[in-house]
Amino acid sequence: MAARSLWAVRRRLQRLLASSTLSAGRGWLHPFSTATQRTAGEDCSSEDPPDELGPSLAERALRLKAVKLEKEVQDLTLRYQRAVADCENIRRRTQRCVEDAKIFGIQSFCKDLVEVADILEKTTECISEETEAGDQKLTLEKVFRGLSLLEAKLKSVFTKHGLEKMAPIGDKYDPHEHELICHVPADIGVQPGTVALVRQDGYKLHGRTIRLAQVEVAVESQKRL
């Protein structure tokens, strides 16, 4: 048994030596040899892309993003400039409208006053052309009719434009509407502290006093100034 086992081991060693010699003659390399690993490493390194491509792609992406942002900035800048120009145009138009309102705000009132001036002019011309020594009565009648027409027209113009003449006689004295000229003794039926006489009419425009009425205020006899 021992001889047979020894013979089997020897036989196996001969086979291994024969296979090793055959591999060396054919130039085969062991799969885990250093040469094989070096060759495999070279092959792998030759197939991998170079490291320089990574930063190149990132830089290209940044450039594209920068171009996009630059276009957005240009677009926003253009919109801002247009908005500023529009605001400036609106401001100028508004200022022009305000100036026109200041200048032509009384245009309608002046137009109505022109009609009053026409009546006054016609009355004056009529009197100057037909005046004779013996026609004084007729002349006075024409003057009266002309002045009455003129007064009626003025009242119509004032009412149309919200201009109202105050009638403060009998009203209590109000420093916001009346300008005190003097005090007078209160007559029978006149309350002290009320307006007894109007020296100059006051006017209101749409309810706001634009000219105070010059008045005399009634007081009791002992308080007369």
Tell me the pLDDT tens digit for each residue of 42-63.
444 444 444 444 568 888 889 8
Tens-place pLDDT, residues 138-158: 778 878 888 888 888 888 988
> Is residue 190 domain-shared with residue 117, that is, in the same domain?
no
- In this structure, are residues 162 and 205 in contact, taking their beta carbons and an 8 Å threshold? yes
Q: Which of 161, 188, 207 is where one domain is finished?
A: 161
Q: How many domains does the chain have?
A: 2
Asked if 216 contacts 197 with a C-beta cutoff of 8 angstroms, the reply is yes
Task: Kindly state the tokens that stand for 41.
Answer: 């490493």
Cα distances from 132 to residues 122, 128, 135, 139, in angstroms, run 18, 9, 5, 9
Look up the domain containing 101 and give its range. Answer: 59-161
Query: Is the domain of 70 the same as that of 155?
Result: yes
143 lies in the same domain as 91: yes
Q: Are the beta carbons of 166 and 207 closer than 8 angstroms? A: no
Q: Tell me whether residue 203 is in a domain.
A: yes
Residue 179 sits in a domain whose CATH number is: 2.30.22.10
pLDDT digits (tens, 9 = 90+) for 169-201: 999 999 999 999 999 998 888 889 999 999 999
* Pair (84, 112) in one structural domain: yes
